């Protein structure tokens, strides 16, 4: 029983990280119908900013704030300078640009920070707690709590604020939303900022959990997050959250019970294939 609880906790932790990364992809896809691969580069940027600021100041909270702002603004810059000018082109053009951006960002990280991983001088959030007989670090607990708070806040923002409702209306029909006075550009800027800020938080927490930040750390999460948004029904934030947690749990249990047959990523993608064969519209069944 203890093993199951530990695996569930590990799955929940993985799922939370995946959800934080995937939400930005989901938001951008919903708004522009663009697969924003460069989002994974923003995740890595968030990790680097937090590590550099924490090592310089000793404050993870300050580092997280700097990371969110820097990465959020970088997300807006990517939209304004790289995507907006080519939105009228076929979707694959934007996709190619996004992939190119991601590769470029990885190379910039390699040039600026070196090819090897960097670590926190004094790793934060390492205190240990025991919950239901299972040891958990403050970093792991923080990931779960931060995910709950951020998703609850995002949901409330989208449902109860005028600008949040306008954002959802823009996803549904941009021309009609614009004709009622919604500033579409502002909505897109806001979407890129929020989505990128979530990636910054995810990057920071992965860096803290592993005490390692490296140029290629965005590669695996990028294709895993793509799998999650497909599984979640493309464009659905709640669907992405559900599928991220589902995938996290599948990986945790699968690695323990099937680890001798398949590795973690193979398990995740095998399950993805099976689910999509059974439910082509994803777990939530939401049509695109």
Nearer to another protein, 169 or 276 (CB): 169
* 168 touches another protein (CB under 8 A): yes
Instruction: Output phi, psi for 131, to 5 deg.
Output: -120, 120
* 172 touches another protein (CB under 8 A): yes
Nearer to another protein, 119 or 178 (CB): 178
| Per-residue tokens: 221 | 């999460």
How far apart CA 84 and CA 206 sit, in angstroms, is: 30
x/- binding map, residues 177-216, to another protein, per CB under 8 A? xxxxxx----------------------------------
Q: How big is the CA angle at 249 (ends 156 and 204), to the nearest 5 degrees? A: 60
Residue 101 CA from chain centroid, whole number = 17
| Per-residue tokens: 44 | 């890595």
How far apart CA 19 and CA 12 sit, in angstroms, is: 10
How far apart CA 129 and CA 107 sit, in angstroms, is: 39
* 130 touches another protein (CB under 8 A): no
**Site residues (CB under 8 A) for another protein, limited to 22-41:** none
Nearer to another protein, 133 or 181 (CB): 181
Nearer to another protein, 110 or 168 (CB): 168
Total of chain residues touching another protein, rule CB under 8 A: 16
Q: Which residues bind another protein (CB under 8 A)?
A: 162, 165-166, 168-169, 171-173, 175-182
């Amino acid at each position: 029983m203890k093993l199951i609880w530990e695996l569930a906790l590990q799955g929940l932790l993985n799922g939370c990280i995946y959800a934080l990364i995937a939400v930005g992809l989901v938001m951008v896809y919903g708004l522009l119908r663009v697969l924003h691969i460069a989002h994974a580069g923003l995740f890595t940027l968030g990790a680097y900013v937090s590590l550099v600021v924490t090592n310089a100041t000793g404050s993870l909270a300050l580092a997280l704030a700097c990371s969110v702002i820097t990465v959020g603004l970088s997300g807006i810059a990517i939209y304004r300078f790289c995507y907006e000018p080519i939105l009228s082109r076929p979707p694959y053009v934007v996709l190619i640009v996004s992939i190119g951006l991601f590769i470029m960002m990885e190379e910039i990280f390699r040039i600026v920070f070196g090819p090897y991983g960097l670590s926190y001088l004094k790793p934060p959030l390492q205190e240990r707690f025991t919950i239901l007989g299972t040891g958990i670090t403050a970093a792991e607990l923080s990931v779960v709590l931060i995910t709950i708070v951020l998703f609850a806040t995002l949901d409330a923002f989208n449902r109860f604020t005028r600008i949040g409702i306008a954002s959802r209306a823009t996803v549904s029909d941009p021309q009609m939303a614009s004709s009622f006075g919604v500033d579409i550009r502002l909505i897109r800027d806001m979407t890129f900022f929020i989505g990128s800020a979530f990636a910054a938080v995810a990057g920071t927490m992965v860096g803290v959990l592993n005490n390692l930040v490296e140029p290629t750390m965005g590669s695996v999460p990028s294709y895993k997050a793509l799998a999650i948004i497909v599984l979640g029904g493309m464009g659905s934030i709640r669907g992405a959250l559900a599928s991220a947690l589902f995938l996290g749990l599948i990986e945790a249990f699968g690695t323990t019970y099937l680890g001798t047959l398949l590795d973690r990523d193979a398990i995740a993608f095998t399950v993805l294939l099976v689910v999509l064969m059974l439910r082509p519209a994803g777990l939530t069944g939401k049509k695109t």
